[in-house]
Amino acid sequence: MFGYVKPDLPYLYLKDDKLYKALYCGVCKSIGKTCGQKARLSLTYDIAFLSAFAHNLCGKDVTIKKEHCIVHPLISRPMASRDEITETMACVNVALAYFKVQDDISDEGKGKLKRLLLSSGYKAACKKDKRIAEIVRDNYRDLRTLEKNGESSIDRVSEPFSIMMKDLSVLVLEKKATEATGELFYYLGKWIYLVDALDDYEKDIAKGDYNPFYLAYGNQPDFGSLIKAAGKDLNFVFSDLFTGIRTNLSRCEFAFNHDLIDNILLRGLPETTLAILKKGNEK
């Protein structure tokens, strides 16, 4: 995951802002305890959402206490206390970060230092639950094969990331996993992969790296040209993903108030997508 799954802050209630930040800090501390201090550098916003979703769906209340940390040594901050879910989130975060770095090394030859910093944390995550590492490793392998073969279908090339997120959700939610949660994370995984590819379009084209939108829509030379040539298609693609997410979200049975989850999925994802689409093209 790449930091795209985050709230729409202007519409976030104060209570949910506090909860979100506490969950973020809680997973960060859990990464340090579970996978080592260096692995905390891999923390992304996405994992706070996963923690919120898992706690709510599993009916596991979040205990928030004021604590100090390395980043904030002087002023204590509200943090979610460690529990089984946050420890699992820590392993998921580190495994995703490790294979994202592996992917960057394959693409650009950069990131070897990051991989070195994450290697011990990744080994710790594997030791705690090797199933997480297997899910991420196998789907990244399938994704790499499709990209190397120059897959031009954005639906097919995004499939491994979709399956990875769906399988991780089943592992994390255990008995609370349902068809609706699986489908929700399937669509979310597809959105993450595609919005990242959209955001990196010009960088990928400049470096000659693989980008599914470049192959799918006529080798457009820059982002502005892509929008002009395929704007309506892109609108349909992302609207379809949002419909899938919204439909399956409505079928999920949460134990607590889910304003934070609604904000991230129903407002945050579209706003992030729109901000990327409008780069250099405010119309």
pLDDT tens per residue across span 164-176: 999 999 999 999 9
Whole-structure pTM over 0.85, yes or no? yes
Separation of first and last alpha carbons in the chain: 29
Rounded to 5°, the CA angle 276-280-281 comes to: 85
Record the tokens describing residue 245, joined without a space. 């997410």
pLDDT of 279: 81
pLDDT of 209: 92
CA dihedral 211, 212, 218, 221 (to 10 degrees): -20
Record the tokens describing residue 190, joined without a space. 């597809």
Alpha carbons 242 and 191: distance in angstroms, whole number = 8
Non-local (6+) Cβ contacts of 131 within 8 A are 171
The parts of the chain modelled with pLDDT lower than 50 are none
pLDDT of 283: 60
**Are 35 and 97 contacting, i.e. CB atoms less than 8 angstroms apart?**
no
pLDDT of 164: 97
Assign 3-class secondary structure to the chain. CCCCCCCCHHHCCHHHHHHHHHHHHHHHHHHHHHHCHHHHHHCCHHHHHHHHHHHHHHCCCCCEEEECCCCCCCCCEEEECCCHHHHHHHHHHHHHHHHHHHHHHHHHCCCHHHHHHHHHHHHHHHHHCHHHHHHHHHHHHHHHHHHHCCCCCHHHHCHHHHHHHHHHHHHHHHHHCCHHHHHHHHHHHHHHHHHHHHHCHHHHHHHCCCCHHHHHCCCCCCHHHHHHHHHHHHHHHHHHHHHHHHHHHCCCCCCCCCHHHHHHHHHHHHHHHHHHHCCCCCC
pLDDT tens per residue across span 246-270: 999 999 999 999 999 999 999 999 9
pLDDT of 103: 77
